[in-house]
Amino acid sequence: MTPRFLARRIGEGLLVAGFLLLTAMPMVDFLGRPFAGFHIHGSATYTQQLTFFLTFIGGLAATLTGKHLTLSTAGLLHGVRARRDAEFFSCCAAASVTAILTYASACVVIAERTQGRELTFGLPIWISESVMPLGLGLISLAYISKSSNWFPARLCAAAIAGATFCLGIIQPTDSMTWVLGAILMAATLLGSPVFAAMSGLALILFWRDGTPIAAVSAEIYRLVGSPTLPAIPLLTATGFVLAETNAPLRLVIFFRALLGSIPGGVAVLVGAVCALFTALTGGSGVTIIALGGLVYPILLNDGYSERFSLGLVTAAGSLGLLFPPCLAVVLYSVVANAPADQLFVAGFVPGTLLLTLVVIYGISVGLKSGIERQPFKWRELMAATRKAKWELSIPVAMALLFGTGLASMLETSAFAFAYTIVISCVIHRDLHPLDQLPATLVKAAAFVGAVLMLLSCAMGLTGYLVDAQIPDRLLEVIREQIHSPLLFLLTLNVVLLVLGSILEIFSAIIVLAPLVIPLGVAFGVHPIHLGIIFLANLELGFLFPPVGLNLLLSSSRFAVPITTLYRDVLPFLVILGLGVLLITYVPALSIGMLKLLGRI
């Protein structure tokens, strides 16, 4: 057994243990509440520290497996040499930024050590915080190793990363700031991860203003104080476990038995099953990949055209983004500091509206095409329900626990994860608990690390923007040009639609929400309504040319030119666009339910 293999297995074991502990503590609090309020003392602090651990060790896993979110255009370069040079350049930039972050986070840990704070069982907090410089340092070394297969080139990358520390003894000028920013942007376009771009830009700006760079890492650590943040790893793991099982097939069979007899029933079932699966797994990418191969042949076999079928599968992949327990809503609640329960309640009617519009179009196509309906059979429905009842019970149980106030968002997420493991490993036995489940959790950890590192590094940049009063200046400029709230909302729709078509949703939420929220408040838009507008526009942006995420995924999944998909999704883009306009200009669709329930 080689040292590298042993280290990898130890790291994977730690990640799995982190997930299980993160699940166990909220579950103990939830189950112990009826018994004289039994709970683990200090469990909130433990879950925050575990999330911190998953962020940086998961971030290391994302680095090693190439799962960090990027805006890479290096694939467009011609020639092996050009792509190799681009990879070296982007890795050098990432290694340099993370090396400086390692130093900055070490300064934070040293400062914490002088305060002498401890966890409830006596462990000094600075030891727990040490995972930040440790993880970042290993990530920097990983990027140096990935920069080239040639050892002298790796030494050169290490030297470049070390040389960046010399900037600390140089008096910065505006021209130097622009040059460094341009280098960072070029590296990002060539494959350097987005988290490195955000944290690198924050480091450059703090350096220019003479602020200690430890401020960036301090902002990163501040993120762990969010009570909702630990729900993100648990919901992510829930979606990954479901995607690795036969849950998609069972759901398709159920919805076909339930809806196949109505006009356009197969189109309706595609919309319904995709919306449910997207809500459970947290992203349209998993839905298109996991369900696309199942529902696309069903549509073709039932007589729907290839053009309609491709358009429907591509559009339906994002229809569940406003439904609980979708990860995008939880992430927005963390970034915007908005109650997740209010966002889920507010998103139900708008989400149902968008789904209904797609369903109506699917029914009309079915009627015009004369698609033969399958006869409704109670026996088939009952058999399909028995097989899919456990998957169908997951969102119902979560809605009851969270919606009634019996459990917090974190406790509900922990329950969903534990419940999903029982369904997958014990009831259906789709996953072996020792052979397959750990590998699934390691993949989930890499995704969690990628998202949370992006979020935490964005906090450093957001901290600078707030200190520099950038949102206030942006508000002044917009107020000079736009005076009507209606015109502001229309402009917001257009901007979010365009940016949503080129940014991955988690990046868009993290980057844009802190800028948009103050503008919405200034124009009198209710914060919860603004959140629904924001998410609905990003959902629509998945279909918007030139490179909406769903377009890229469907093009890859079905081996269809992306330009062909532009034509196929156009009817759905128009229909959903009308729905987004209704959501934008009729606030009652989002906040009406909250008012009815007395939540606002």
pLDDT higher than threshold 60 for residue 73: no
More confident residue, 547 or 55: 55
- Mean residue pLDDT of the chain comes to 83
Low-confidence winner among 37-51, 65-79, 192-206, 402-416 (lowest mean pLDDT): 65-79
Residue 585 DSSP SS3 = helix
pLDDT higher than threshold 90 for residue 339: no
On whether the CB atoms of residues 552 and 559 are closer than 8 A, the answer is no
| Same domain, residue pair 373 and 520 | yes
| Same domain, residue pair 235 and 129 | no
Q: Please state, in angstroms and as integers, the Cα–Cα distance from residue 77 to each residue in 67, 83, 190, 546, 548, following that order.
A: 21, 6, 9, 19, 21
Residue 254 DSSP SS3 = helix
pLDDT in tens, 111-129: 878 887 777 667 787 888 8
| Same domain, residue pair 323 and 446 | yes
CA angle 217, 222, 223 (to 5 degrees): 105
| Same domain, residue pair 202 and 248 | no
Confidence of residue 349 (pLDDT cuts 50, 70, 90): very high
Confidence of residue 282 (pLDDT cuts 50, 70, 90): low
Where is the domain boundary, 189, 209, 225?
Answer: 225
pLDDT recorded at residue 283: 61
| Same domain, residue pair 478 and 352 | yes
Q: Is 286 part of a structural domain of the chain?
A: yes
Q: Is 25 part of a structural domain of the chain?
A: no
3-state secondary structure 403-441: HCCCCCHHHHHHHHHHHHHHHHHHHCCCCCCCCCHHHHH
Mean pLDDT of 44-58: 84
pLDDT higher than threshold 90 for residue 596: no
> Tell me, what DSSP letter sits at residue 150?
S
On whether the CB atoms of residues 299 and 266 are closer than 8 A, the answer is yes
Helix (H) or strand (E) holding 401: helix 378-403
More confident residue, 88 or 503: 88
Confidence of residue 98 (pLDDT cuts 50, 70, 90): very high
| Same domain, residue pair 198 and 243 | no
pLDDT higher than threshold 70 for residue 16: yes
More confident residue, 167 or 425: 425
| Same domain, residue pair 185 and 248 | no
pLDDT recorded at residue 74: 52
Counting the structural domains of the chain, the total is: 2
CA 212 to chain CA centroid, nearest Å: 30
pLDDT higher than threshold 90 for residue 17: no
| Same domain, residue pair 209 and 279 | no
Q: Is 521 part of a structural domain of the chain?
A: yes
Where is the domain boundary, 187, 207, 225?
Answer: 225
Q: Is 454 part of a structural domain of the chain?
A: yes
pLDDT recorded at residue 423: 92
| Same domain, residue pair 496 and 515 | yes
Q: Please state, in angstroms and as integers, the Cα–Cα distance from residue 586 to each residue in 490, 533, 541, 579, following that order.
A: 13, 11, 20, 10
Low-confidence winner among 113-127, 177-191, 343-357 (lowest mean pLDDT): 113-127
On whether the CB atoms of residues 55 and 448 are closer than 8 A, the answer is yes
Percent of the chain with pLDDT over 90: 15
Residue with tokens 């994002």: 318
How many helices (DSSP H) and strands (DSSP E) are in the chain? 26, 0
pLDDT in tens, 576-591: 999 999 999 999 999 9
pLDDT in tens, 287-304: 776 677 778 888 888 788
More confident residue, 439 or 283: 439
| Same domain, residue pair 446 and 397 | yes
Q: Is 27 part of a structural domain of the chain?
A: no
Q: Is 247 part of a structural domain of the chain?
A: yes
Percent of the chain with pLDDT over 70: 91
| Same domain, residue pair 418 and 531 | yes
| Same domain, residue pair 208 and 94 | yes
Range of the domain at 303: 231-596
Q: What is the dihedral of CA 66, 71, 77, 82, to 10 degrees?
A: -60
Q: Is 476 part of a structural domain of the chain?
A: yes
Q: Is 259 part of a structural domain of the chain?
A: yes
Where is the domain boundary, 225, 244, 274?
Answer: 225
CA angle 592, 595, 600 (to 5 degrees): 125
Q: Where are the alpha helices (DSSP H) in 227-376?
A: 231-243, 247-259, 265-281, 284-301, 306-316, 327-336, 340-369
Token pair, residue 114, equals: 């002088």
Mean pLDDT of 396-418: 84
